[in-house]
Amino acid sequence: MKKAKRAVIATAALVCCLILSVAGAAVQVEKGVVVVPTPGRVGKAVVEGCPGSVGATVHFITGVWPGKRFAVKSATWGSHFTLTPNHPAANLDIGFRTASGWVEFDGRRFGGEQGFVPNGALEALVCLSYGAPAMFTYKAG
């Protein structure tokens, strides 16, 4: 009887710890809107989509960042993310800037992107490759 009681107490303690760890997990939610697609040309290069490196090039040439930039919470590194447009005819892409360069999720498909937040991500850049202007929701964690 004592062993069964100890097992129940140990199980209850484990469940409480799991609930607390999930409740305290870092979550990041960003909402924004991207109205103008990335330019079709940057200099002489034809640009399809909007990976972060292209966004950085557009910024370097024009002084304007295409799309929406936001800081990435370090607590979400390695966690799953989703980027969901509110309009079905929008193709949104995302790039993450790290100290060593851009990590890009550029699926060339409608409906947004999903993947894992790269370790060391400092900021994200969401761009509209083509399609209708769209609001989006980014969730990570």
What band does 53 get if pLDDT is binned at 50, 70 and 90?
A: low
Confidence class for position 101, pLDDT limits 50, 70, 90: confident
Amino acid occupying residue 67:
G
87, 132 in Cβ contact below 8 A? yes
Contacts of 68 (CB under 8 A, 6+ apart): 30, 32, 33, 34, 125, 126, 127, 136
Is residue 76 pLDDT above 60, yes or no? yes
Average pLDDT of every residue of the chain: 74
According to DSSP, the β-strands at 123-131 and 113-116 are: unpaired
- Residue the block writes with tokens 């999903």: 114
The predicted model gives 6-28 an average pLDDT of: 51
**Which domains can be identified in the chain, with CATH numbers?**
28-140 (2.60.120)
Q: Are 140 and 80 within 8 A, CB to CB?
A: yes
pLDDT band per the 50, 70, 90 thresholds, residue 139 = very high
The 10 Å CB-count burial string (b at 16+, else e) for 16-47 is eeeeeeeeeeeebebeeebeebbeeebeeeeb
Task: Calculate mean pLDDT across residues 79-107.
Answer: 84
Q: Look at the pTM and tell me if it is higher than 0.75.
A: no
